[in-house]
Amino acid sequence: DTVSLAAPLDEHYRVVKNARGKLVLVAIPPGEAAVKIGRIRSKQTVRGGRVQMTLHDGRNLLVAPDSEYHVGDSIKMELPGQKVLDHLPLAPGRLAFVSGGSHVGQFAHVERIEVRNSSQPNLVHFKEGFATTKHYVFVVGDQAPILTLTEGASR
């Protein structure tokens, strides 16, 4: 999420988790204040044959039934209109941000996704040598984040 301070300060911040799991404010350029990344948590078909996607923050978006969005993918969207600007699929080679677990706050490149046909959660394995549950993984770009997520980082 983002926090904007009105005039005379006119400063904008993104709220992210650091390596200790604590929420921290990261200064962002004014153009990024109205943009965020959301992870697709679930999909369901609604009346009229359209598909409703539910994001990690509770937002719901309606998309065409033939869209290529999958649970676990991320989207870059414009606020407050919720217009989808970019689709970030959860796939090998993509850069991801880990939002929970023992590797919280880390960026890593997806190596493979382990789908378990049991009550155990699916795992995402990273090239950096660790794995975490799919629920904690936010795809944020290819080689670099598409939005500012750390101090001193730029898009």
Please state the domain count of the chain: 2
Residue 83 CA to residue 75 CA, distance in Å, equals 10
> Which residues lie below 8 Å from residue 110, measured CB to CB, with a gap of 6+?
90, 91, 92, 93, 94, 95, 96, 124, 125, 126, 127, 137, 139
Report yes or no on 127 lying in a domain. no
Query: CA angle, 75 as apex, 128 and 34 as ends, to 5°?
Result: 110
> What is the domain extent for residue 52?
35-86
Whether residue 20 is contained in a domain is answered as yes
Do both 10 and 27 map to the same domain?
A: yes
Q: Is the pLDDT of residue 8 over 60?
A: yes
CATH number where 41 lies? 2.40.50.740
pTM across the whole model: 0.85
pLDDT in tens, 74-120: 999 998 888 999 999 999 999 999 999 999 999 999 999 999 999 99
Instruction: Look at residue 154 in the predicted model and tell me its pLDDT.
Output: 42
